[in-house]
């Protein structure tokens, strides 16, 4: 049976945690207002979808050409999730984002060079989806689900950026512990 709980936990955590998309969307909305930040958000949605489709093709080719790669890919995916869990617990330096373009093209182009999106797509496809599904329409649906989850997260960061900032500053340790534990759960569930 498909591991929905672990998969949904993974994509939620990956989408909601700070990354280039979320920080830039929050910054755009703070500078220009939510309505003027929307083109960038829709560019992010399109870019994530394209990026995840590329990841699906790449992962699928690896699984087809080298069938024995599934277990090593699970190990790499689990190791990456454990790395993220550790990184989530360790204090990080906050970076201020100055000005960013709010265009659709800028939002889409960012995804093609955003390593978090590529890791997000490859890990989701190789660790969760491809062991269960190989049909192209189903893979496209999962790609859209991954992209839409990222888009929903950027909308949240845009709309509630200052609120999230206050929450992370006030309750950051508790939130980081919960997210780290969920990532460990996701990594372990790959092998159950």
Q: Quote the CA–CA distance of 35 and 29 in Å, as a whole number.
A: 8
pLDDT at 66: 75
Q: Quote the CA–CA distance of 37 and 155 in Å, as a whole number.
A: 9
Neighbours of 26 (CB within 10 A): 23
Tell which wins on pLDDT, 52 or 182: 52
Neighbours of 111 (CB within 10 A): 26
Return the residue matching tokens 């500078």: 31
DSSP code at position 190: T
pLDDT at 95: 46
Read off the pLDDT of each residue in 125-153 and give the average, rounded to a whole number.
92
Q: Which of 186, 162, 192 is nearest to 78 (CA)?
A: 186
Half-sphere exposure of 103 (CA within 13 A, CB side): 4
Tell which wins on pLDDT, 12 or 71: 12
Tell which wins on pLDDT, 85 or 166: 85
């Amino acid at each position: 049976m498909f591991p929905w709980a672990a998969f949904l936990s993974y994509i939620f955590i990956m989408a909601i945690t700070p990354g280039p998309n979320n920080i830039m969307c929050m910054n755009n909305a703070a500078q220009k207002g939510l309505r003027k930040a929307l083109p960038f958000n829709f560019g992010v949605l399109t870019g994530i979808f394209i990026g995840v489709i590329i990841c699906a093709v790449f992962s699928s080719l690896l699984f087809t050409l080298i069938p024995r790669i599934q277990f090593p890919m699970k190990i790499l995916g689990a190791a990456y999730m454990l790395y993220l869990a550790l990184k989530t617990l360790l204090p990080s330096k906050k970076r201020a984002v100055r000005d960013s373009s709010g265009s659709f093209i800028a939002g889409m182009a960012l995804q093609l060079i955003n390593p978090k999106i590529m890791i997000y797509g490859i890990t989701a496809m190789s660790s969760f989806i491809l062991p269960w599904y190989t049909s192209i329409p189903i893979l496209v649906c999962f790609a859209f689900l991954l992209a839409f989850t990222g888009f929903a997260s950027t909308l949240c960061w845009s709309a509630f950026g200052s609120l999230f900032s206050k929450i992370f500053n006030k309750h950051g340790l508790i939130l980081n512990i919960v997210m780290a534990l969920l990532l460990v759960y996701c990594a372990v569930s790959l092998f159950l």
